[in-house]
Structure 1
Amino acid sequence: MDKKAKKKGKLKQKLTDKYRLVVLNENTFEERFSLKLSRLNVFVLGGVLSFLLILVTTFIITFTPIKEYIPGYSSTELKIKATKLAFQTDSLKRKLDIINDYTKALQPILNGEIEPEIIDSAAFSLGKVEIKDSLLHATREDSIFREKIESQDRFPIQNNADTNVEIVFFAPLNGIISQSFDPNTKHLAVDITAPKNAPVKATADGTVIFSGWTTETGYVLILKHDHDYMSVYKHNGNLLKQQGDFVKSGEVIASVGSTGELSTGPHLHFELWSGGYAVNPTNLIDFR
């Protein structure tokens, strides 16, 4: 017991022993400053200063913009901006997917891969499928209506297409037709020869839905017109309009060229489409 009491007494004495911190003038040894300290005072003072330092640091980080420089911290404003950017990115991705799908749908037209539809007319007789009314439970009115439809030409790809349209088309180029519209050879256009760099004009008011390059048909431009009409201009030398541009009838949109693997000389390959079907341009346009 005495040893433990002596150790405690010595520890207490060490903590409470006073020490003097004196600051002297090096030349005159004059006392400038003195401070009485003990180990206990030093520990207490150090703890208080550490607590104040932690308190001040926490206050600065919490209530000042310096917190934004801490790795891993994100403010509410930054979170809001990040959320908005995420929504905008998603919207742009959806729009891009729509444009890609639309472009893929136009590729058969651009590459000339459209197969002529089966035409059950006198000029293109491929046979008819007979349907028994008894199997369809068709009424007399249904039969009469079907016979009326079957007696008409359902495809405007033929040369006798209806010319009573509510839109007026003009010749896109002044030149000579070197190859006419011929569904039998799958040439669903007219080729117009003209000098290189001659101006190619819009056949009617419309919006550019494609303006770019393809391997087989070179520089291609497609216009979307009213009443579900589209005009296609292939083998151009230069394109003067971009996708999304609105053009007026007769406005110069490209120049005559001979671009693409299928071109044999300066000319314009001009196609006209209505409701997804090829139309003979000479039925609607006077090229003379």
Structure 2
Amino acid sequence: MAKDRKKRKEIRRKLLHKYRLVILNESTFEEKISFKLNRLNVFVTGTLFIIVLIGVTTLIIAFTPLREYIPGYSSTRLKRQATELTYKTDSLVTVLNYTNRYLDNVRLVLRGDIENNQVNRDSLFEQYKLDPSTVDLTPIREDLLLREEVELEDKYNLFERNIENMGTLLFSPINGTLVQAFDAKTKHYAVDLVAPKDTPVKSIADGTVLFAEWTSETGYVIIIEHQEGLTSVYKHNGSLSKSQGDLVKAGEVIASIGNTGELTTGPHLHFELWRKGKPVDPQNYIDFN
């Protein structure tokens, strides 16, 4: 016990033993500043300094933009921007894929180059067949009134008719003479209609203009997308009345008969009709007589 007490006294003496720190002028040895210190003061002061330094560093990292310069830390704003850029990139990839498919379809229509050129005419009308024996055709009073009302409203309204309700009946693009029919064997996926130059060319149904430009082989070309997967193509026009992206109505003038392009032999309309990416005989859908 005496040894332990003596040892503690020795440690206390060393901790409290005072030292003097003097700063002198090197030339004159004049005393400028002096401090009285002991080991305990130095230890406490150093500890407090380290704690304050750690606290200040923590505050800087937590509440100032300087933390962005520390390896391993990233900015919330940068994370948000990175997320937004990721979404935009995904959207751009989707739009690019759609645009590429659109351009491929336009090239396919313009070249008339397909792999499967076998068109079964009967199969096109199979979905429209209806067995009368399975349907009660006796009209009721409400049905008759509705029919009269619709006929009255739609009597003089050509553009507002619903093409789907007319089955495969579409408007003829021009009043002309059919000089060459659809022939899949010779890859003539169209009908050629002769008419006087500048005769108005009309849309066969409501739709959206997919393409309206000049091509070297087929002159002024306009392509319109309709419902039910139908796409109509009008080539060798003298001029175009619509631009890409325009909405057109059935029977609306979209171009005029011309003699443009390297593959033309006179004023006529080269008319193609595509259904779900494959060419079909327009005469199966349109009465050109």
Provide the residue aligned with 1:231 in structure 2.
Answer: 232
Q: Is the 8 A contact 1:116 1:186 kept in 2?
A: no
- Counterpart code for 2:110: L
SS of 1:94's equivalent in the other structure is helix
1:18 deviates by 1.9
Q: Deviation of residue 63 (structure 1)?
A: 0.8
Q: Give the Å deviation of 1:272.
A: 2.5
Q: CA deviation at 1:85?
A: 2.9
User: Residues 22-171 of structure 1: matches in 2 within 5 Å?
Assistant: 36=34, 56=56, 58-68=58-68, 73-114=73-114, 117=117, 154=122, 166-171=167-172
What's the offset of the Cα at 1:103?
Answer: 3.8
Contact 2:192 2:268 in 1 (8 A): no
Sort the Cα spacing of 1:16 and 1:258 in 2 relative to 1 into closer, same or farther, 3 A: farther
Contact 1:256 1:266 in 2 (8 A): yes
1:222 aligns with 2:226: no
> How far apart are 1:279 and its partner, in Å?
1.8
Distance 1:84 1:37, change over 3 A: same
3-state SS, counterpart of residue 97 of structure 1: helix
How far is 1:207 from its partner? 3.2
Residue 254 of structure 1 deviates from its aligned partner by 4.1
1:263–1:114 distance in 2 versus 1, CA, 3 Å: farther
Deviation at 1:256, TM superposition (A): 4.9
Within-5 A mapping of 1:249-260: 249-254=250-255, 256=257, 258-260=259-261
Given the alignment, which residue of 2, 12, 23 partners 1:19? 23
Instruction: Give the count of matched residue pairs.
Output: 221
Q: Tell me if the contact between 2:215 and 2:261 (Cα under 8 Å) persists in the aligned partners.
A: yes
Change beyond 3 A, Cα 1:229–1:269: same
- Partner residue in 1 for 2:127: none
Distance 1:98 1:36, change over 3 A: same
Q: Secondary structure, in 3 states, of the residue corresponding to 1:226?
A: coil
Hey, what does 1:202 align to over in structure 2?
203
CA distance in 1, matches of 2:71, 2:249: 57
In structure 2, the CA distance between the partners of 1:90 and 1:248, relative to structure 1 (3 Å rule), is same
Alpha-carbon shift at residue 233 of structure 1 (Å): 1.4
- Contact 2:23/2:34 (<8 A) preserved: yes
1:213–1:72 Cα change, 3 Å: farther
Deviation at 1:38, TM superposition (A): 9.1
Q: TM-score, normalised by structure 2?
A: 0.53
Q: Is the 8 A contact 2:173 2:204 kept in 1?
A: yes
The amino acid of 2:280's aligned partner reads A
Q: Deviations over 1:42-67 (max 9, x none)?
A: x9999988986775355234212454
Q: State the AA in 2 paired with 1:59.
A: L
Select 1:240's aligned residue among 237, 242, 245: 242
TM-score, normalised to structure 1's length?
Answer: 0.53
How far residue 277 of structure 1 moved from its aligned partner, in angstroms, is 4.1
Structure 1 residues 118 and 62: alpha-carbon distance in aligned structure 2, compared to 1, 3 A threshold:
closer
- Identify the residue that residue 189 of structure 1 maps to in structure 2: 191
- What is the root-mean-square deviation in Å for CA atoms of aligned residues? 4.8
The percentage of aligned residue pairs carrying the same residue is 42
CA contact (8 A) 1:68 1:74 kept: yes
Distance in 2 between the 1:72 and 1:283 partners? Answer: 68
CA separation of 1:177 and 1:112: change in aligned 2, threshold 3 A: farther
Equivalent residue of 1:104, what SS?
Answer: helix
